Amino acid sequence: MKIRRFQSILLTIISLGIIAAFVYYLYVNANQYRDLLNVSATGAAMLFVLSLAFPILSGMQNVFLYRSLGAKISYRDGFFLTAASTLANQLPISGGILSKGFYLKRIYNLSYTKFISSTVALFVCFLAVNGLMGMTILLYWILFRKVAVNPVLLIAYTMMAGCVLAFWLPLDRIKIPEKLRKWSHQAIEGWMLISRNPVLLFQLIGLQFLLVLLLAIRYWLAFHMLSQNVTIAQTLLFSTASILTQLVSIAPGGLGVREAIVSGVASALGFDAGVSLVAVGLDRLVSTVVIVLVGWVSTVILGKQIAETSKKPGGQDAEELNSAQ
């Protein structure tokens, strides 16, 4: 308990430190950004709407994945679950994965083992998809536009795309001790689900492409609010790289990490790192407002559903709960 409290305090201090450094940077360079800033009500509204689309599309991904695992989750619950878990990830102790796993186990009786292994598999799949998208853009620039590309970017995106090889590992042939066989079977089943289900794979990749494209449009709007003449192809690179934030979450919500990743890619493409940092900060400001509003409402609704289930003797079947909705 003391360790958890210490972690919470430490992460809160780190988050406040990052915010304080960002505010100080803006204060020192206020004149520069005052000249660059070109915020319109229309642009801000578009950022808000685009941010709202993310829990909807991510919720659909969850529905397709967890239905394939036997959980008869509704699209409504998929949206609420995504919004609530995203909000939980903004807390000092990120609890998005834990809260999602608990809800799916309590309401739909989805085992924690299958949930964790399928969630990891989904991330690896999306990492490879984003890498392939980034490689496609870079190779197009090299082969057809004759643009000199930073080799670091090409190596990074190649490594991301190479994650697809993980799905060809012969995990089902590994000899497992008898005591761990049931657990390992569930883990392997959750991991191999995506690669063995072409329809599910097509659905998930299609939604992921839309999410990457929408995030690219958000970045395009944010950069243009700072008078930066970026193209959609360039912001697509920023967007595909943003998934790496999930690998390193030093502060709640990946605060500072996503900004650093996008600024690094932008710098490799010749943009000012400081301006890029502020542009991503603008996007985060709007998206955080959406996360707090939608996530809070979703958390309340899901909490009531869990409470209603607990009141009934022996719990409530997921189908009964969905029919009651």
Confidence bin at 223 (pLDDT 50/70/90): very high
End-to-end CA distance of the chain: 38
Query: How high is the pLDDT of residue 114?
Result: 85
What local confidence, expressed as pLDDT, does residue 36 receive? 72
**pTM, 2 dp:** 0.86
pLDDT tens track for 151-188: 999 999 999 999 988 887 776 666 666 555 555 666 77
320 has pLDDT over 50: no
Q: Residue holding tokens 């083992």? A: 113
Does 195 or 202 have the greater pLDDT score? 202
pLDDT at 325 over 60: no
User: CB under 8 Å, gap of 24 or more: what pairs does 149-156 form?
Assistant: 150/268, 150/269, 152/268, 153/237, 153/265, 153/268, 156/241
Check residue 143 and give its pLDDT.
Answer: 94
> What's the average model confidence in pLDDT over 295-321?
71
**Cα(100)–Cα(295) distance, rounded to whole angstroms?**
13
pLDDT value of position 67: 93
- Rounded to an integer, what is the distance from CA 207 to the centroid of its chain? 13
3 pLDDT more than 70:
no
pLDDT at 8: 62
Q: 203: which 2 tokens?
A: 């659905």
What is the model's pLDDT at position 317? 47
Q: What is the pLDDT of residue 190?
A: 74
pLDDT, one tens digit per residue, over 101-136 is 888 888 888 888 888 888 888 999 999 999 999 999
Average pLDDT over residues 293-305: 90
Average pLDDT value over all residues in the chain: 83
Cβ within 8 Å of residue 182, ≥6 positions away: none
pLDDT at 323 over 60: no
Least confident of 169-183, 197-211, 217-231: 169-183
